[in-house]
Amino acid sequence: MLTAARVAAPLSLRDVRAGYGRIEVLHGIDVEVRRGEVTTLLGPNGAGKTTTLGVMSGLITPSSGCRHVQGRHVNGADAAALARIGVCHVREGRSVFPNLTVADNLVVASSSGASLDRLTEVAFTLFPRLKERRTQLAGTLSGGEKQMLALARGLGTDPSVLLVDELSMGLAPLVVAELYEAVAAVAQQGVGVVVVEQFATIGLRVASRAYVMAHGQVIYAGSSADAEDAVHTAYLGSAAS
């Protein structure tokens, strides 16, 4: 029991302030990613969600506070260093190489050190649709399939933390449900998953925990089941301002 209690969260931010140049965007936020759980991070446009993921993945350095990965203080680490210790960031916009086939996109992803066999196995088990389309140019995939490929590319590296920005943006509900199923399956294997959403509260059904952000602050942290009120407050506040 003691050991379990001592196992560090795969990633946490404590009282983190960060921004761009002199502009502070995050005004002291606490977020904890837990192993084996989906955590959803919600909030209106401009709330600071993407900036938070950037801090988590090392694209942005905290100006104060602590960034911990597996219990280690890693404020100074850059994105490449955090990727090597298992932090995977699937950035907004489904980044895939449009002129390469699905299979070749996986080959490129494996060039960062992941085994191609492992990457292919993970991708095609989680998303059989990608297997069917392995010779198709990624640029001609549907939005949902591109998102699957973007996720698969990240997962092949066996991350301990998976950060996904705007998972469902612009996608049809059925595809979104399929993507969330995959994300939940990944979490069940022990990965700490964070999914950022601007509009979709579908994440609340899959996630155990939710954070709601507004104006660079966390206005709710807790069970996803009780997050709805905070979500409304955040969106109403942003509409009024």
The residue written with tokens 């960031």 in the block is 89
Kindly identify the residues of this chain, within the stretch 15-54, that bind Mg ion according to CB under 5 A. 49-50
Interacting residues of 211 by C-beta distance below 8 A, sequence separation 6+ = 31, 39, 40, 41, 42, 218, 220, 221
Which window, 6-14, 44-52, 111-119, 147-155, contacts ligand ADP (CB under 6 A)?
Answer: 44-52
Check residue 75 and report its DSSP letter.
Answer: T
Q: Which does 47 bind (CB under 5 to 8 A by kind): Mg ion, ligand ADP, none?
A: ligand ADP
CA distances from 209 to 1, 54, 76, 239 (A): 23, 20, 28, 25
Helix (H) or strand (E) holding 108: helix 102-110
Q: Which of 28, 46 has the CB closer to Mg ion?
A: 46
Q: Verify binding: residue 25, ligand ADP, rule CB under 6 A.
A: yes
Q: Which of 106, 197 has the CB closer to Mg ion?
A: 197
How many Å apart are CA 40 and CA 8, to the nearest integer? 20
Asked if residue 41 lies in contact with residue 219, where contact means CB atoms within 8 angstroms, the answer is: no
Kindly identify the residues of this chain, within the stretch 50-109, that bind Mg ion according to CB under 5 A. 50
Q: Verify binding: residue 80, ligand ADP, rule CB under 6 A.
A: no
Asked if residue 167 lies in contact with residue 196, where contact means CB atoms within 8 angstroms, the answer is: yes
Triad 232, 200, 27: Cα angle to 5°: 60
| Of 215, 219, 228, residue with least CA distance to 19 | 215
How many Å apart are CA 149 and CA 126, to the nearest integer? 10
Q: Which of 36, 65 has the CB closer to ligand ADP?
A: 65
Read off the tokens for 168. 């469902």
Which residue, judged by CB position, is nearest to Mg ion in the bound state?
Answer: 50
How many Å apart are CA 241 and CA 239, to the nearest integer? 6
Tell me how far, at minimum, the Cβ of 64 lies from ligand ADP, in Å: 17
Tell me how far, at minimum, the Cβ of 21 lies from ligand ADP, in Å: 7
In the set 49, 68, 146, 209, which binds ligand ADP (CB under 6 A)?
49
| Of 203, 223, 218, residue with least CA distance to 51 | 218
Which window, 32-40, 47-55, 113-121, 172-180, contacts ligand ADP (CB under 6 A)?
Answer: 47-55
Q: Which of 63, 136 has the CB closer to ligand ADP?
A: 63
* Length in residues, the chain: 241
Q: Verify binding: residue 20, ligand ADP, rule CB under 6 A.
A: yes
Tell me how far, at minimum, the Cβ of 92 lies from Mg ion, in Å: 6
Q: Which does 25 bind (CB under 5 to 8 A by kind): Mg ion, ligand ADP, none?
A: ligand ADP
Asked if residue 214 lies in contact with residue 221, where contact means CB atoms within 8 angstroms, the answer is: no
Q: Verify binding: residue 45, ligand ADP, rule CB under 6 A.
A: yes
In the set 12, 39, 40, 51, which binds ligand ADP (CB under 6 A)?
51
Residues that bind ligand ADP (CB under 6 A): 20, 23, 25, 43, 45-51
> Which residues contribute to the site for Mg ion (CB under 5 A)?
49-50
